[in-house]
Structure 1
Amino acid sequence: MSTSHAAPHEALWSIGELAERAGVTVKSVRFYSDRGLLPEAARSGGGHRRYAPEALERLRLIRSLRALDLPLPEVRRVLEAGAAADRVLEDAVAGRLREVGGELKALRWREAALQLVRECPPAELAARLRLIGALGTPPSTAPLARFWRAWLPPRMPARATAAFLDVAVPQPPDEPEPAQVLAFARLHAMTTAPCPDGQQPQPEVHRLAGARGAAMLYAGLAEAYEIAGPQVRRARDPYAGEALDAYVAAYASAYGSTDTRQFRRRLASRLATEPRLTRYWELASVVRTAPGALPEPTPGDADDWLRAALERDNAEGA
C-alpha cells in the first residue's frame, strides 16, 4: 500500500511523529498499520514508515470507533464505506448497542443472583447454588418452551402452539430482583427434572380431542381466562356467568359435546383428576411481576377460579 510519490518527503511524518500528534503510542500506530487500517504514504531510505497528514484524522476516527468498542472488522467497514460511511456506522452502532444491552442484562442477572446467595440462610445455601448454577446469564426460556411443547398435543397447529407459549413462558426481566431469579431457577429445575415414570403427564382431553380439538380448546380457554381475569384481579368469589360459560363451551367443543347440566358435572369430575401445574403458575407470576406491582392473574389463577365456579354452579344446580 506504499505510495512513495503521494506527497513530498518533507511533508510526511514518521510513526513517532504521528503517534505524538494523535496522543497514542507508537505500538498502536503500528498495530493499525499492520492490519491495513492506517495506510502509510511512503517508506524512508532506511525502510521506516512515513505518513501523510491526513493519516492523523483517520487515526483519530479509528480511536473514536474503538472507544465505542466496535470490533476491527466493523471499523474497517466504516473506513472503507466511502459515501455510505454514515449508514454503515449507524448499522455498526446499532449492532453494538444490541450486544451491550445483552451484556448489561447478563450483569444484572449475575448481580441479582449474587444478592440471592448473600441473603440465603446457611441451611439452604447448597440447594440454592445448585439451582442458580443450572442457569445461564441471562437464562434461556428454551427449557420451559420444551416442557410445554411436550405437554401440548402432538401436531397441534403452530399458530395455536405459539399463542399458548406466549402466555405460558415468562420472559426473564431485564432488571431482576433476587426473588425473580430464584423463581426462574425453580421453574427451570421443575421443567428439566425427569418425570417419575419417565413420561410427562397429559390431560385426558388432549388424547380425546386430538390436535385440532386441542387447538380449539386452548383458544376457548384463552377467551374464558380473559373474561375471568378482572374477577380474579378483584378477588371476587367464583360465580356462574359469562366466563364460566366460555370455559365450559371450550371443553364441550373439544369433547364434541354440548353444554348441559350433565356435561358440567362430568367435566368437573374429569378436571378433578387431571394433572395440576399450580406451582408452575405461582413461580411464573413471580417472574412476571415487577417489584412493587400487584401480580397479574396467570392462566393458572383463572383456571382455579373457573374450576371453583364450576363446582359451585354444579352444587347450586343439584
Structure 2
Amino acid sequence: MDLSHDGLCSIGELAEQAGVTVKTVRFYSDRGLLPEASRSAGGHRRYGPDALDRLRLIRSLRALDLPLPEVRRVLDEEDGAAATGGALEDAVAGQLRELGSRLRALRWREAALRLVQESPPGERADRLLLVGAVTVPPSTAPLARFWRAWLPPRMPARSTAAFLEATVPQPPEDPAPAQVLAFARLNALTLGACPGTGRPQPEAHRTAGARGAAVLYAGLAEAYELAGALLRRGRAPRPGEALDCFVAAYVSAYGTRDTLDFRRSLARQLAADPRIDRYWELVAEVITPPGAPTEPTPGSAHDWLLAALDAQTTATAA
C-alpha cells in the first residue's frame, strides 16, 4: 500500500487499494472493525500500514456472509484480545448450518412446487392446502406432539426420546414430490383426531403403566429392528429370534412368564387393539424414495411379528 511520509494513508487511498468505496471503509471504521491510526489537521481519517490487510480480511469474512458480530469476534481473536480460540471455525460452522437449513428449505419448496405443477387439476387445490400447512423447512413438532399425547404420563424422558426417534420420521433432505405429499398428509393426520378412535393407544400398552411402557418400548424397538431385517430380505412371518424378542418385551413389561397361554392371549389382545395403519403407510412413503424398495417401519415390523405370533399360536392349537 502506498503510504505518505508519515507511514499513513487517507481513507480514499485505502479504499482505492482495496477496490472498495470510501463509504465501505467508513462503514467498517464507524463500527470499530477498522480502527483509524489518527486524524489529519483537517479531521480526515488516516490509516496505518496494517489497515489494507485488515480490510481485506473483513471483506473476505463478509463475502462468506458472516454477520458483523461474528466478524468482530474473529478480528478480536486475530488481535489477541480474545484468547478463547476457534472464533473463525465456530463462525464458519454456524454459517454452514444456516446455509444447510436454507438449502433444505429451497429443495423442499422446489419439490412442493413440482407437486402442485404435476397434480391433476381436480386435486391441485386440496394438495396445495395440504402442502401449505407444512412449515418450511418442514417441522416434525406436530408428529412428536401426537405421540406424546399417546404415550403414558410420566414415562422416563430418555425412554420418551428413544420412542420418538423411532416413530417420528425425519423429512428427506432432497425430497421427491411424492414424499412432500406423504409428509403433508402425515402432518394433517397428526393434527386431527384419528377417525373413530381418537388417540388409539393399544390396551396392551396402557396396562403396562409408565415404567412398564418404557421397558416395553425398548424391547419392541429391538424386535422391530430384527423383523425389519427380515422384511428387507422378503422373509415371510415365522417364529424365531425376532418373535421371541417381541414376546419378551411384553413379558418383561408385565412381569410374567413366556408361556404358550400367554402368547395366545397376547395374540388375541394385539389383534383386537386399535391401529393407526394409515400413519405407518405414510411414514413408509416419506422415508422411501420413489422407485426404491419400501423401507420397513415400526408399523410394518409390528404387523409382521403379529402375523408370526398368530401363525405360531394357531399352529400349536391345531
Q: Same fold (TM over 0.5)?
A: yes
| Identity percentage of aligned residues | 70
Alpha-carbon distance between aligned partners in 2 of 1:180 and 1:133, rounded to the nearest angstrom: 15
1:9 CA drift (Å)? 6.8
Alpha-carbon distance between aligned partners in 2 of 1:261 and 1:39, rounded to the nearest angstrom: 83
User: How many residues were matched structurally?
Assistant: 312
- What residue in structure 2 maps to residue 28 of structure 1? 24
- What residue in structure 2 maps to residue 3 of structure 1? none
Query: What's the secondary structure of 2:207's corresponding residue?
Result: helix
1:310 CA drift (Å)? 2.2
Letter in 2 for 1:238: P
Q: Give matches, 1:1-318, under 5 Å.
A: 11-81=7-77, 82-83=79-80, 87-195=86-194, 199-290=198-289, 292-318=291-317
1:236 CA drift (Å)? 2.5
8 Å contact kept, 2:130–2:184:
yes
Moved more, 225-234 or 72-81: 225-234
Letter in 2 for 1:144: L
TM-score, scaled relative to structure 1: 0.89
List runs of 5+ in structure 2 lacking aligned partners. Answer: none
Query: What's the secondary structure of 1:50's corresponding residue?
Result: strand
Query: What's the secondary structure of 2:284's corresponding residue?
Result: helix
Alpha-carbon distance between aligned partners in 2 of 1:254 and 1:106, rounded to the nearest angstrom: 42
Alpha-carbon distance between aligned partners in 2 of 1:274 and 1:48, rounded to the nearest angstrom: 82
Query: What's the secondary structure of 2:245's corresponding residue?
Result: helix
1:77 CA drift (Å)? 1.4
Query: What's the secondary structure of 2:149's corresponding residue?
Result: helix
Alpha-carbon distance between aligned partners in 1 of 2:51 and 2:209, rounded to the nearest angstrom: 70
Letter in 2 for 1:119: E
8 Å contact kept, 1:14–1:50:
yes
Letter in 1 for 2:153: P
1:309 CA drift (Å)? 1.8
Query: What's the secondary structure of 1:275's corresponding residue?
Result: coil
Q: Deviations over 1:19-61 (max 9, x none)?
A: 1111111111111111111122222333222223322221111
TM-score, scaled relative to structure 2: 0.89
1:245 CA drift (Å)? 2.8
Alpha-carbon distance between aligned partners in 2 of 1:213 and 1:110, rounded to the nearest angstrom: 43
1:252 CA drift (Å)? 3.6
Query: What's the secondary structure of 1:281's corresponding residue?
Result: helix
1:182 CA drift (Å)? 1.5
8 Å contact kept, 2:178–2:290:
no
Alpha-carbon distance between aligned partners in 2 of 1:184 and 1:117, rounded to the nearest angstrom: 14
Letter in 2 for 1:177: A
List runs of 5+ in structure 1 lacking aligned partners. Answer: 1-6
8 Å contact kept, 2:166–2:221:
no
Letter in 1 for 2:44: H
Query: What's the secondary structure of 2:171's corresponding residue?
Result: coil
Alpha-carbon distance between aligned partners in 2 of 1:141 and 1:62, rounded to the nearest angstrom: 38
- Aligned-residue Cα RMSD (Å) equals 2.4
Query: What's the secondary structure of 1:263's corresponding residue?
Result: helix
User: Structure 1's 258 and 54: CA in aligned 2 closer, same or farther, altered over 3 A?
Assistant: closer
Alpha-carbon distance between aligned partners in 2 of 1:198 and 1:244, rounded to the nearest angstrom: 28
8 Å contact kept, 2:217–2:249:
yes
Query: What's the secondary structure of 1:98's corresponding residue?
Result: helix
8 Å contact kept, 1:205–1:254:
no
Alpha-carbon distance between aligned partners in 2 of 1:75 and 1:235, rounded to the nearest angstrom: 56
1:188 CA drift (Å)? 1.0
User: Structure 1's 55 and 256: CA in aligned 2 closer, same or farther, altered over 3 A?
Assistant: closer
Letter in 2 for 1:130: L
